Amino acid sequence: MRSMLCATALGLVVFAAQAQVAADAFVRQLSAEVVDTVKADKAIQAGDLRKVIALVDTKIFPHVNFQRMTASAVGRHWRQATPEQQKRLQDEFKLLLIRTYAGALAQIKDQTLEFKPLRAKPEDTEVIVRSELKGKGDPLQIDYRVEKSGDTWKIYDLNVLGVWLVETYRSSFAQEISAGGLDGLIQKLADKNKAASAAKG
């Protein structure tokens, strides 16, 4: 459930902007664009993986510092990984999240995002954008850690219901690395992705 909520939060956000514009303004504008796209696309709501991948690849991941996210989740072991291992970790981690989006994005119906005032100075290069996803039931807290990269904003972590995504994966990744090393973690992620693909098919 937690991974589903995290995926939903990440799926609502796209970052692509000039640096002088506040991060929360882009989260507000572009996340609304993603939500509107999902609501208007019955194939995505039905869980069409190809449509989800297209949406994620074109609207979301190009504006995520995915290397930083993966490196943070892997922790100190990232520096010990070969370039090939790092690439495979990023590829499998990305696919794992995308496959989770297939179900998470399909759940977006009548929810709306409400943003809290941004607590940051104009010169800050790393800020937290806070919001709530409101619909039926209790509001869902969603916070985003974003960084200024050149003239764009990018996401590198998010918090759902008080739990940061990277921290959650860091714990599970550490267990896998302890049991089977970096290659063991890569294989575990690959197995999960293959199982998800087989179940979908």
Q: What is the pLDDT of residues 99-149, one digit of tens each?
A: 776 666 767 777 888 899 998 888 889 999 998 888 888 888 888 899 988
CA distance 29 to 198: 36
Lowest mean pLDDT among 46-55, 154-163, 190-199: 46-55
Nearest to 112 by CA among 193, 32, 51: 32
CA distance 82 to 49: 31
Lowest mean pLDDT among 9-23, 56-70, 110-124, 153-167: 9-23
pLDDT of residue 20: 53
Q: Is the pLDDT of residue 51 over 70?
A: yes
CB distance 13 to 31 below 8 Å: yes
Considering the chain, what is the average pLDDT of its residues? 83
The pLDDT > 90 percentage for the chain reads 34
The pLDDT > 70 percentage for the chain reads 86
CA distance 15 to 136: 27
Highest mean pLDDT of the ranges 3-17, 26-40, 69-83, 91-105: 69-83
CB distance 159 to 142 below 8 Å: yes
Q: Which domains does the chain have, with CATH numbers?
A: 2-200 (3.10.450.710)
Q: Is the pLDDT of residue 161 over 80?
A: no
Lowest mean pLDDT among 46-55, 120-129, 166-175: 46-55
pLDDT of residue 14: 47
- Work out the angle between the directed axes of helices 165-200 and 83-104 (0-180°, nearest 10): 70
Q: 156-165 in b/e burial notation, b at 16+ Cβ within 10 A?
A: bbbbbeeebb
Q: Is the pLDDT of residue 8 over 60?
A: no
Q: Which two tokens stand for residue 134?
A: 């409101």
